[in-house]
A and B are shown apart, each in its own frame.
Chain A
Amino acid sequence: MPPLEGYPVMDNNVSRRQFLGTIAAAGAGTAAAATVANAQSHPPGWSGTQRVEKIATTCEMCFWRCGVLASVADGKVIRLEGNPDHPLTKGRLCARGNAGTRLLYDPDRLKYPLLRTGKRGDGQFKRISWNEALDFLTSKLKALAAEHGPESVAFFPHGLSARFFSTLMKAYGTPNSAEPSFAQCRGPREVGYTLTFGRELGSPEPLDLEESKLIVLIGSHLGENVFTSQITAFATALSRGAKVIAVDPRFSTAASKADWWLPIRPGTDIALLLAWMHVLIGEDLCDKEYIARYAQGFKELEAHVREFTPEWAAAITELPAAQIRETARAMGTAKPAVLVHPGRHVTWYGDDTQRARAMAILTALLGSWGRKGGIFLPTPIPRGAFELPDFPESPRGRADGAGTRFPLASEELGVTNGLVDATVTAQPYPIKAWIVYGQNVLESIPEPQKTRKAIEALDLMVVVDVLPVEQINYADLVLPEATYLERYDSPSIVTTAKQPFVSVRQPACEPLYESKPGWWIAREMAKRMGLEAWFPWHTPEEHLAQIIAPMEISVEELRNRGALAFPGRPYLDDQASDAESPVRTGSGKIELYSQELKDLGADPLPRYTPVEDPPTGYFRLIYGRSPVHSFARTQNNEALNALMPDNEVWLSTRSAKDLGLRDGERVTLENTDGVKSLPVRVKVTEGIRRDCVYLVHGFGQGSKSLHLAFRRGASDNALMTHVKVDPLMGGTGMRGTFVRPVKDPTAH
């Protein structure tokens, strides 16, 4: 593989003697002596004589797909850095990205295919060969198709590498595939914005943060939630003097930087959004020209929000009416360069599509969709494809309710909890097998008790993963996937960047142990199942070449540089002369009033629905992220675990006093169903409302095989035994859990 050009001399083929000679010539006196000593240990793993190659690839420590350069010596990845050529992340890499080698070399990794020997849940396995494993899976899948139909197999994918297996599952004949990125994450947002603008936002979300004059964060905790380029843009905006409104029950990092912190009563965001609209419309602060040109339904909206005064909202949100007015006016002044951040994980209260609608409408009133400093528009890139036979149609349709029970759910991403329900109830038809690929169903889908019940009812459970997360204990067959640093994936095409780009994930080293890349697993299965027609390529390079064929770039250039960008047309003005309107709703206008929702029997304009209050003695459980962890995926990473081995529960000073709890004391959290968490330290702080407690997500893991992560901290997900499901799209409202801290009797 050719190395990149233009990198510092030591990274190329330079002998140690030459290198030290250079230093000796450059240095002088004591400085030279000290630097020689330092140079000996630099970089780690580099003994000074090997050739160091840099491989440009795509990170997968989260899903943002940043550009990474892997330094490789003697087949070992010794260091990861950001790829300066990457159009989105420009050489920057977050804590997790920098810690990627610790995933690659994690001694706890899944190493061999495993077949269950003990009871389901016991974690007793025997090592088998890949041949045995794939033959076993083939015979099981064939038998399931014959006996129950291929739809009886449900697929739970996540990430780029699962795409090959997704093709296999579609070719096999099951429409039942669902990712948590929809019903546990950004689904309501995509639905709400599509209802309004006719287009979803997508990922990475197209936010023009760096050009923004006012950033409105509604529960978005940028800084604790880190996506490299989004943080770069946020910080750039701050340094250019952008103002920030942070709406959050907790004093987040973003709140600490905000000009206005609005510690809202949880669950009342729609009331605040309606009052903001009331002020903007009432005080004539909207972008009227923009609305006249692009939107429809303004009159209905105007009439709708007339009663929603800041005083009305103040009583609901527990925010001062003056502050609501002041922040609305700030938006009116800064428009259109106002970025109402749409959030990402937004499945909170079960009416989340309506909150997303309210945010989309607010964005439209400010004229900031498609405008500088607001939300920009995607620029498509031509994408090549193989000519594949049609996938078999399933006469029974989907089991997860996408398009039926949940009329606006994405049929591409599916509804995970819909598949769990179908498995438990055998409605609309029985689900007999799960193939879980890169997802952690016990940590990502709430009501894990129900998920366990579903798994127990299965005839077959297969897990494809890199790490032995808790769910493998329930699997009949475990397949060890190669990490992102050891494999090719389907190329990543990002249209939601100001310069759209394609990037490659390619191996920096050979897969360790007997782990295999996802493309290989899917292709080998296709051969056994007689489904090769859907895999008309032999190598991942061949696949890559076909996908990028219409882009007029070469495979070699893409592999050398890691990512290649194309000119973007991010603003409405850029697309003004296009034949197709940038607004893609049925009416061709931004739909402030949604006839589509009305036809579904839902509110055509968003309305505040009161949320349930915590019972006496209980607190609402809210949760979020840490910059050093990605969900429940990184707690076993030695470098990241060292920075944050467990979580703590935030509790307000006054509530702590009421409960007689001191800072640092250990408690368990008990929910209203009596479910208890593992012990967790209390963080007593002024920085949270009295009516809620806060945990960072992803801790309290139940897999003994994860030696660093096992039983460290408390799992928020395990406490979510009640969820309110969004009737429009199936999203699980995950902020309706009430807990009380109980002093941990085992603490000393």
Chain B
Amino acid sequence: MARYAMVTDLRKCVACQACTVACNAEWDVPAGYARTRVRTTPITGTFPHLASSIYVAQCNQCDRPPCVEACPSGATSQHDNGIVGVDKSLCIGCGFCLEACPYDARYINPATKKVDKCDFCVSRLERGAEPACVITCTAHAKYFGDLEDRQSDVFKMVYAHGARRLETSTIRVGPNVYYAGEHASTDLVLAAFPPRPPRLLAAGQAWSRVLRPLVLAAAGATFLGQAVAFFNQLRNGEKDFED
């Protein structure tokens, strides 16, 4: 089975954001939201000895995805090829997965009230096309492929050229998005945009055992609306408690 991965070469990337706009167009992402975003790290150092790096953020399709664990409805699941997908017909828009994601890679689409995120353009892959961000990248800085394939660009970049993933000593969920370039660059990215500890809402976990079969049974029915309302309430309640 394939193990899909993406590599962004930070030496080549110039932060042009073609990937963001192409992705938004491909997936009809509402203005103000994105499945992939380009950021630059704050400039560090003292004039004129300065450094900064570019960071291209997206879902990391983690090997041990906290979002899957957090999802009470079973909408978020991991495919055999490693890609983490969101089945929109099962999503209840509760947002627990947003809390769980260490990389802030998810958003709730305000029009559909469903969670959305990068899935490596899985439907494009199925018709033999590369992800939208990869084919448009003006710098040819994005590589997509199968880590099981020793001939693939991603294999070479990860195993021969030392592309890194964004992990810390405590947060190691096995991301499949890698960053090539000087280590100084990835260090800057890690310092500026560190993965945060996944927040798994305890109440959500308990309820999920009850709710998951119910949601599956009721998907598409009016019960869904009630479930959404219920869970939003639950989530807000949890937030109030934290505050």
Q: A44-B25, A261-B50 are in contact. Are A30 and B141 (CB under 8 A)?
A: no
Q: Is B205 an interface residue (CB 8 A)?
A: no
CB B2 to nearest CB in A, in angstroms, measures 11
CB B181 to nearest CB in A, in angstroms, measures 10
Interface residues of B in 1-49 (CB under 8 A from A): 9, 11-18, 20-22, 24-28, 31-32, 40, 43, 45-48
Q: Is B232 an interface residue (CB 8 A)?
A: no
Interface residues of A in 487-526 (CB under 8 A from B): none
Interface centre among B28, B81, B83, B136 (most CB of A within 10 A): B136
CB 8 Å contact bits of B126-137 with A (1 = contact, 0 = none): 111100000111
Q: A82-B136, A256-B53 are in contact. Are A93 and B15 (CB under 8 A)?
A: no
Interface residues of A in 664-723 (CB under 8 A from B): 685-687, 689
Contact of A239 among B12, B52, B135, B138 (CB under 8 A): B12
CB 8 Å contact bits of A618-633 with B (1 = contact, 0 = none): 0000000001100000
Q: Is B122 an interface residue (CB 8 A)?
A: yes
Chain B residues near A640 (CB-CB < 8 A): 21
Tell me the nearest residue of chain A to B13, going by C-beta. A235
Q: Is B165 an interface residue (CB 8 A)?
A: no
- The answer to whether A31 touches B127 (Cβ under 8 A) is no
Q: Is B77 an interface residue (CB 8 A)?
A: yes
Complex Cα spacing A86 to B167, Å: 39
- The answer to whether B122 touches A35 (Cβ under 8 A) is yes
Complex Cα spacing A235 to B137, Å: 11
- The answer to whether B86 touches A253 (Cβ under 8 A) is no
Q: Is A638 an interface residue (CB 8 A)?
A: yes
Interface residues of B in 52-104 (CB under 8 A from A): 52-54, 77, 79-81, 83, 85-89
Among A97-105, A196-204, A284-292, which stretch is in contact with chain B? A97-105
- The answer to whether B86 touches A34 (Cβ under 8 A) is yes
Contact of A42 among B9, B26, B86 (CB under 8 A): B26
Q: Is B233 an interface residue (CB 8 A)?
A: no
Q: A223-B16, A235-B14, A687-B50 are in contact. Are A98 and B25 (CB under 8 A)?
A: yes
Chain B residues near A545 (CB-CB < 8 A): none
Complex Cα spacing A521 to B141, Å: 43
Chain B residues near A28 (CB-CB < 8 A): 80
Interface centre among B12, B32, B89, B119 (most CB of A within 10 A): B12
Q: Is A734 an interface residue (CB 8 A)?
A: no
CB 8 Å contact bits of A206-249 with B (1 = contact, 0 = none): 00000000000000001110101001101110110000000000
Q: A97-B18, A222-B14 are in contact. Are A41 and B50 (CB under 8 A)?
A: no
Contact of B22 among A45, A93, A685 (CB under 8 A): A93
CB 8 Å contact bits of A269-301 with B (1 = contact, 0 = none): 000000000000000000000000000000000
- The answer to whether A81 touches B135 (Cβ under 8 A) is yes
Contact of B85 among A10, A31, A101 (CB under 8 A): A31
- The answer to whether A39 touches B138 (Cβ under 8 A) is no
Q: Is B156 an interface residue (CB 8 A)?
A: no
Contact of B136 among A81, A251, A641, A687 (CB under 8 A): A81
Interface residues of A in 21-37 (CB under 8 A from B): 22-23, 26-31, 33-35, 37
Q: Is A334 an interface residue (CB 8 A)?
A: no
- The answer to whether B52 touches A256 (Cβ under 8 A) is yes
The DSSP consensus for interface residues of chain A is helix
- The answer to whether B136 touches A92 (Cβ under 8 A) is yes
CB 8 Å contact bits of A1-17 with B (1 = contact, 0 = none): 00000001110000000
Q: Is B140 an interface residue (CB 8 A)?
A: yes
Complex Cα spacing A95 to B20, Å: 7
Complex Cα spacing A93 to B77, Å: 32
Q: Is A91 an interface residue (CB 8 A)?
A: yes
Q: Is B226 an interface residue (CB 8 A)?
A: no
Q: Is B139 an interface residue (CB 8 A)?
A: yes
- The answer to whether A91 touches B135 (Cβ under 8 A) is yes
Chain A residues near B136 (CB-CB < 8 A): 81-82, 91-94, 98
Contact of B17 among A255, A627, A638 (CB under 8 A): A627
Complex Cα spacing A35 to B119, Å: 10
Chain A residues near B138 (CB-CB < 8 A): 92-94, 226, 228, 231-232, 235
- The answer to whether A685 touches B25 (Cβ under 8 A) is no
Complex Cα spacing A26 to B128, Å: 11
Q: Is B51 an interface residue (CB 8 A)?
A: yes
- The answer to whether B25 touches A257 (Cβ under 8 A) is no
Chain A residues near B85 (CB-CB < 8 A): 30-31, 34-35, 38
Tell me the nearest residue of chain B to A26, going by C-beta. B126
Q: Is A80 an interface residue (CB 8 A)?
A: yes
CB 8 Å contact bits of A539-577 with B (1 = contact, 0 = none): 000000000000000000000000000000000000000
Chain A residues near B137 (CB-CB < 8 A): 92
Chain B residues near A8 (CB-CB < 8 A): 127-129
- The answer to whether B25 touches A9 (Cβ under 8 A) is no
Chain A residues near B127 (CB-CB < 8 A): 8-10, 22
Contact of B77 among A34, A96, A224, A253 (CB under 8 A): A34
Q: Is A652 an interface residue (CB 8 A)?
A: yes
Q: Is A643 an interface residue (CB 8 A)?
A: yes
Complex Cα spacing A222 to B12, Å: 12
Complex Cα spacing A35 to B127, Å: 11
Tell me the nearest residue of chain A to B141, going by C-beta. A235
Q: Is B152 an interface residue (CB 8 A)?
A: no
Q: Is A602 an interface residue (CB 8 A)?
A: no
- The answer to whether B18 touches A38 (Cβ under 8 A) is no
Complex Cα spacing A700 to B53, Å: 29
Contact of B79 among A26, A31, A81, A685 (CB under 8 A): A31
Q: A34-B122, A35-B126 are in contact. Are A226 and B140 (CB under 8 A)?
A: no
Complex Cα spacing A96 to B54, Å: 19
Complex Cα spacing A10 to B53, Å: 38
Chain B residues near A224 (CB-CB < 8 A): 14-15
Q: Is B236 an interface residue (CB 8 A)?
A: no
Q: Is B123 an interface residue (CB 8 A)?
A: yes
CB B50 to nearest CB in A, in angstroms, measures 5
Chain A residues near B80 (CB-CB < 8 A): 28-31
CB B54 to nearest CB in A, in angstroms, measures 8
Chain B residues near A163 (CB-CB < 8 A): none
- The answer to whether B17 touches A95 (Cβ under 8 A) is yes
Complex Cα spacing A229 to B226, Å: 52
- The answer to whether B139 touches A235 (Cβ under 8 A) is yes
Chain A residues near B48 (CB-CB < 8 A): 261, 263
Interface centre among B13, B18, B43 (most CB of A within 10 A): B18
CB A693 to nearest CB in B, in angstroms, measures 15
Q: Is A742 an interface residue (CB 8 A)?
A: no
Contact of B47 among A27, A232, A652 (CB under 8 A): A652
- The answer to whether B141 touches A95 (Cβ under 8 A) is no
Tell me the nearest residue of chain A to B12, going by C-beta. A235
Q: Is A128 an interface residue (CB 8 A)?
A: no
Q: A39-B123, A101-B25, A251-B50 are in contact. Are A231 and B88 (CB under 8 A)?
A: no
Tell me the nearest residue of chain A to B10, going by C-beta. A257
Complex Cα spacing A253 to B12, Å: 11
Tell me the nearest residue of chain A to B137, going by C-beta. A92
Interface residues of B in 125-166 (CB under 8 A from A): 126-129, 135-141
Q: Is A43 an interface residue (CB 8 A)?
A: yes
Complex Cα spacing A639 to B23, Å: 11
- The answer to whether A31 touches B51 (Cβ under 8 A) is no
Q: Is A642 an interface residue (CB 8 A)?
A: yes
Complex Cα spacing A627 to B14, Å: 9
8 contacts between A and B (CB under 8 A): A80-B25, A81-B136, A96-B21, A253-B14, A627-B14, A627-B17, A628-B16, A639-B21
| Besides the known contacts A44-B27, A256-B50, A638-B31, 12 further A-B residue pairs in the complex with CB atoms under 8 A apart | A28-B80, A38-B88, A79-B25, A82-B136, A93-B18, A94-B138, A96-B21, A98-B18, A232-B138, A235-B14, A236-B12, A687-B47
7 closest cross-chain pairs (CB), A and B: A223-B14, A34-B85, A235-B139, A44-B28, A235-B12, A642-B31, A31-B79
- A-to-B contact residues, CB < 8 Å: 8-10, 22-23, 26-31, 33-35, 37-39, 41-45, 79-82, 91-99, 101, 222-224, 226, 228, 231-232, 234-236, 238-239, 251, 253-257, 261, 263, 627-628, 638-643, 652-653, 685-687, 689
